[in-house]
């Protein structure tokens, strides 16, 4: 589907001037990389070359090539579906992946932006709310009430996504409101965003149905497995007091009680990993806890209850990682067939944009935590503090700065009109004198 994107005109101007420099840097980087690979005497040295390139070299290569032939701030989008923290709710992480050179920096890195807005839907009332990314990955302090829409597609067709690549910001802009209070709030937010003029463009977005039904990329299954494991752990931990009481009454042997407490601590540690470590790096931790319980010859009742949840979690994540790896491999090894894939049918995407999408999907799993992707209330204490500071200090400062810029702009326009009027009067006076 097509999504409307507003980009601050100043970023487009900066990007146009910086792309040439970044193209040259990319070409130099690509040449050096190829020379290193060709100079490798054996597989061991070739492996060292890949290590030297770093974990994100594929992202650099894909977005760098995209930049070399695309338009400024080309974009492609995707939607990840996830369960809500509360039952009866569902969330959507709407990502915009942009070919952005970050030409204001001298470093050749991070040649693309991946920012998201988070939308939550109440499945019973069909009521929606949204958290926008206000800057540097930090989302709004408070969710915006979107009211009643028919679906997520209806929201994306009715609203605009507003991007500020330099600020790592992506927000959802609602249509003009009829209500005076809401209209004033929208005006204030437009000022806070710091924009004056926009370039309006459309970009293609792959919906959750595209990912889940055509690619069988089921992020929802993985996120649901994490939340269900946490619910069961919380339920079992709450029952520890009753278990301890039974132990006092000698109904539960001491060694079983100790085993249960140790198992619950292991799962608690794993849950911390699941929320605050990117999915790509969670597999060894999940496997360790799962294998520990699975190979236990005499599991306790508590361990028997937890085992299926860990098994589902491991299976869901392995499936997700395998699909992302295969998709990226396909985009590199068999570019033509990948470009003709059914998922891209009807989408106006260049082959390079399609390759960037494949790499971006894997990069989300490697770089973004589950808390970051769609659950801001589960952020670390550090991120919560930064989020509050950004909401309390940065946005008001941006608002005042934008107001100052707008006021100066009005003063300049008035001054220009006055000067123009004076000039016309002087010309008319001279012409009158000449005529006489």
pTM for the full predicted model: 0.75
Give the H/E segment covering residue 273.
helix 254-276
76-115, pLDDT tens digit by residue?
Answer: 889 999 999 999 999 999 998 876 554 333 333 344 578 8
For range 205-225, the mean pLDDT: 92
At residue 28, the pLDDT reads: 77
For range 126-139, the mean pLDDT: 84
At residue 85, the pLDDT reads: 94
Query: Pick the residue with more confidence: 74 or 245?
Result: 74
Does the structure show a pLDDT above 60 at 391? Answer: no
For range 318-336, the mean pLDDT: 86
Contact 51, 87 (CB under 8 A): no
Contact 237, 267 (CB under 8 A): no
Confidence band of 410 (pLDDT split at 50, 70, 90)? low
Q: What are the tokens at 172?
A: 């959802």
At residue 223, the pLDDT reads: 98
At residue 51, the pLDDT reads: 66
Does the structure show a pLDDT above 90 at 55? Answer: no
**Of 6-20, 51-65, 330-344, minimum mean pLDDT range:** 51-65
At residue 106, the pLDDT reads: 36
With CA atoms as reference, report the closest residue to 208 among 77, 392, 59.
77
Query: Pick the residue with more confidence: 249 or 192?
Result: 192
Does the structure show a pLDDT above 80 at 272? Answer: yes
Does the structure show a pLDDT above 90 at 271? Answer: yes
What mean pLDDT is reported for the chain? 78
At residue 249, the pLDDT reads: 43
At residue 110, the pLDDT reads: 42
Contact 264, 236 (CB under 8 A): yes
Tell me the percentage of the chain whose pLDDT exceeds 70: 65
Paired with 131 in beta bridges are 118
Domain ranges of the chain: 2-185+193-206, 216-359+369-379
18-39, pLDDT tens digit by residue?
Answer: 666 666 777 777 788 788 888 8
For range 66-71, the mean pLDDT: 60
Q: How many helices (H) and strands (E) does the chain have?
A: 16, 11
Give the H/E segment covering residue 4.
strand 2-8
For range 278-300, the mean pLDDT: 95
Does the structure show a pLDDT above 60 at 214? Answer: yes
Cβ-based neighbours of 383, under 8 Å, separated by 6 or more: 138, 371, 372
């Amino acid at each position: 589907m097509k999504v409307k994107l507003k980009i601050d005109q100043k970023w487009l101007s900066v990007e146009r001037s910086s792309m040439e420099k970044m193209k040259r840097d990319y070409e130099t980087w690509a040449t050096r990389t190829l020379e290193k690979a060709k100079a490798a005497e054996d597989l061991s040295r070739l492996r060292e070359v890949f290590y030297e390139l770093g974990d994100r070299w594929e992202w650099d290569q894909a977005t760098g090539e995209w930049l070399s032939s695309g338009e400024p701030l080309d974009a492609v989008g995707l939607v990840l579906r996830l369960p809500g923290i509360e039952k009866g709710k569902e969330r959507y992480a709407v990502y915009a992946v942009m070919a952005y050179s970050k030409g204001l920096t001298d470093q050749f890195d991070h040649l693309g932006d991946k920012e998201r807005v988070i939308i939550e839907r109440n499945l019973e009332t069909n009521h929606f709310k949204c958290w926008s990314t206000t800057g540097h990955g930090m989302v709004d302090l408070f969710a915006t009430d979107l009211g009643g829409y028919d679906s997520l597609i209806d929201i994306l067709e009715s609203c605009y996504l507003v991007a500020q690549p330099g600020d790592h910001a992506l927000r959802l802009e609602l249509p003009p409101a009829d209500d005076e209070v809401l209209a004033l709030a929208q005006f204030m937010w437009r000022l806070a965003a710091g924009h004056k003029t926009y370039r309006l463009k459309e970009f293609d977005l792959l919906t959750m149905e595209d990912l889940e039904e055509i690619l069988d990329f089921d992020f929802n299954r993985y996120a649901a497995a994490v939340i269900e494991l946490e619910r069961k752990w919380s339920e079992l931990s709450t029952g520890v007091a009753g278990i301890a009481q039974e132990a006092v009454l000698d109904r539960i042997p001491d060694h079983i009680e100790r085993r249960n407490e140790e198992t619950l601590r292991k799962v608690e540690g794993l849950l911390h990993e699941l929320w605050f470590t990117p999915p790509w790096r969670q597999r060894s931790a999940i496997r360790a806890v799962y294998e520990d319980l699975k190979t236990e010859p005499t599991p306790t009742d508590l361990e028997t209850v937890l085992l299926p949840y860990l098994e589902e979690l491991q299976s869901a994540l392995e499936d997700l990682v395998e699909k992302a790896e295969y998709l990226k491999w396909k985009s590199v090894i068999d570019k033509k067939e990948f470009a003709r894939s059914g998922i891209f049918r009807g989408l106006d995407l260049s082959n390079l944009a399609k390759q960037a999408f494949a790499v971006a999907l894997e990069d989300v799993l490697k770089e973004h935590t589950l808390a970051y992707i769609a659950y801001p209330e589960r952020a670390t204490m550090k991120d919560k503090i930064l989020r509050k500071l950004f909401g309390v200090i940065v946005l008001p400062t941006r608002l005042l700065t934008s107001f100052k810029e707008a006021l100066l702009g009005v003063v300049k326009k008035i001054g220009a009109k006055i000067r123009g009027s004076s000039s016309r009067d002087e010309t008319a006076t001279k012409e009158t004198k000449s005529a006489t």
